[in-house]
Amino acid sequence: MAAAGAGRVSAEAGEAPEALGPGPVPCALSVNGREVRIEIEPRVTLLRALRHYSDYTGPKEICDRGACGGCTVLLDGKPVASCMMLALDAQGRPITTVEGLARDGKLHPVQEAFKTCDAYQCGYCTPGMLLSTVALLKENPAPSLDEIKRGLEGNLCRCAAYNHIFDAVQMAAKKMSASPAK
C-alpha cells in the first residue's frame, strides 16, 4: 500500500517570524466590495471587527460560540460564523454581509422571498438566516425540505419562524432557477 504524502512534509530549518500584538495592528478587510481599513488587536474576531470597529451591524452578536448563526457572513462566497475567526484571517478575501446583499437598490431574490413569506418575527436572526440561505442555494439550487433544514440548522430563531422560512427558501429557489443570476 502506498503511503500518500509520506515524507513530503520536510522540516527544513526556518526562522520563527515575529508575533503580532497584543497591541493594535492594521487590518484591511474587503466588505461588500468596499475596502475597510481598521486598527485592531490581533485577538479581535471578524464579527467584532465588523460590528465594533466598523459600521456593519447586520451580523449580530448573539451566542459568542458559533452555536446560533446570527453572525454568519459569506467569506469567499462561503458561509462562516464570523465570531469564530480572527479578523486578520479574513484579510484580502471578499466578505459579504446582509448590507451587501441588495445590488443597485434591487433586493436579492432571497430577501424578496423572506419578505413575501413573513420568514421572521423579531428579525434579529434574519441577517444570518438570509446569508445561510444564499449560501445554501448557491451550492444546491433546488434543495429538498431536509436539505433546507440541514443548510439552516446552525441558525437559531427563538421566535421559531422556521416554517415560514421553509416557504421562503423554496420560493427563492424557484425564482432563482427561473432567472439564474449571472
Partner 1 sequence: MKSSIADFAVISPRTLAEALASLRQTPPPVPLAGGTDIMVLLNAGQLEPGVYLNLYSVPELRRPIEVSAGVRDAGTWGAGGADPPGEVRLSALTTYADVRRHAEVRRLLPMLPLAAREIGAVQIQSRATWAGNIANASPAADGVPPLMAYDATVELSSAAGVRQVALSEFYSGYKQTARRPDELITGIRIPVPAPGSIDYFRKVGTRKFQAISKVLLAGLVELGGSREIRKIRLVFASVMPFTYRARKTESVLEGRRLEPGAVSLAVETLRTELKPIDDIRSTARYRLKVACNLLEEFLGTTMGC
Partner 2 sequence: MASSEYTEVVVEGRKVRLRAPAAEAIPAYGAATRVVGTAAQRVDALEKVTGRAVYPSDLRLPGMVHARFVRSARAHARITSMDLSHAEKVPGFLAAIGPSELSEKSLKDMLGRELPILTEEPKYYGEEILAVCAETDDAARAAAREVRITYETLPFSVDPEERVRAGQFVGGGWTPTGPGRPAVYERGNVQKAMAAANRIIERTYRTAPNVHSSIEPHAAVASYEEGRWTVWESTQGVFAVREELAAMLGAPLLSVRVIGTHMGGGFGSKVSAGKYTFIAAYLAKKLGRPVRCVQDRSEEFVSPYGRPPSVVTIKAAVRPDGKLLAIEQKGIHAAGPYGFGAEWGHAEDMAAEMYACDNVRTETYAALTHTPPPCAMRAPGHAQAAFSLEQMMDEIAREIGMDPVEFRLKNLPARDPVSGKPIAVPRGSHGLAECLKKGGELFQWKKRRKETRDAPPPRFRRGVGVAATAWSAGGGPPASVVIRIHADGVAELFAGAADIGTGTRTALAQIASEETGVPVDRIRVTNADTALTSYCLPSYGSLTLASTGPAVRRAAVACRRQLLSIASDILEAPEKNIVLAGGRATRPASRKTPESSVPIAKLVELSASREIVGLGEREGNPDMSIRSHGAQFVAVEVDTETGTIEVTDLVAVNDSGRVINPTMFKSQQYGGVTMGLGMGLTEERVYDLETGRPLNPNLTDYKVPTILDQPAAFQAVPLEVPYDGNNLGAKGLGEPPIIPTAAAVANAVYDAIGIRLAALPLTPKRVIDALHPPESKP
The kind and range of the H/E element at 167 are helix 162-178
DSSP-derived letter for residue 96 is E
In the list 123, 141, 174, 177, the residue contacting partner 2 (rule: CB under 8 A) is: 123
Instruction: Name which of 163 and 177 has its Cβ closer to partner 2.
Output: 163
* Residue 20 site contact among partner 2, partner 1, none (CB < 5 to 8 Å, cut-off depends on kind): partner 1
Contact between residue 47 and residue 83 where contact means Cβ atoms under 8 Å apart: yes
Asked if 115 interacts with partner 2 (CB under 8 A), we say yes
Task: Identify residues 42-81 at the interface with partner 2 (CB under 8 A).
Answer: 44, 48, 51-52, 55, 57-58, 60-65, 67-68, 70
Picking from 128, 122, 121, the residue whose alpha carbon sits closest to that of residue 156 is 128
Picking from 121, 131, 161, 133, the residue whose alpha carbon sits closest to that of residue 47 is 131
In the list 29, 90, 125, 172, the residue contacting partner 2 (rule: CB under 8 A) is: 125
**Shortest Cβ 55–partner 1 spacing (Å):** 21
CA distance 115 to 182: 23
Q: Which residues bind partner 1 (CB under 8 A)?
A: 1-7, 9, 11-22, 41-43, 45, 64-67, 69, 72, 78-81, 83-86, 88-89, 132, 135-136, 150-151, 153-155
Beta bridge partners of 73: 80
**Shortest Cβ 72–partner 1 spacing (Å):** 5
**Shortest Cβ 54–partner 1 spacing (Å):** 19
CA distances from 43 to 24, 27, 182 (A): 9, 12, 38
Task: Identify residues 155-174 at the interface with partner 2 (CB under 8 A).
Answer: 155-165
CA distances from 115 to 96, 105, 126, 162 (A): 20, 15, 11, 14
**Shortest Cβ 111–partner 1 spacing (Å):** 19
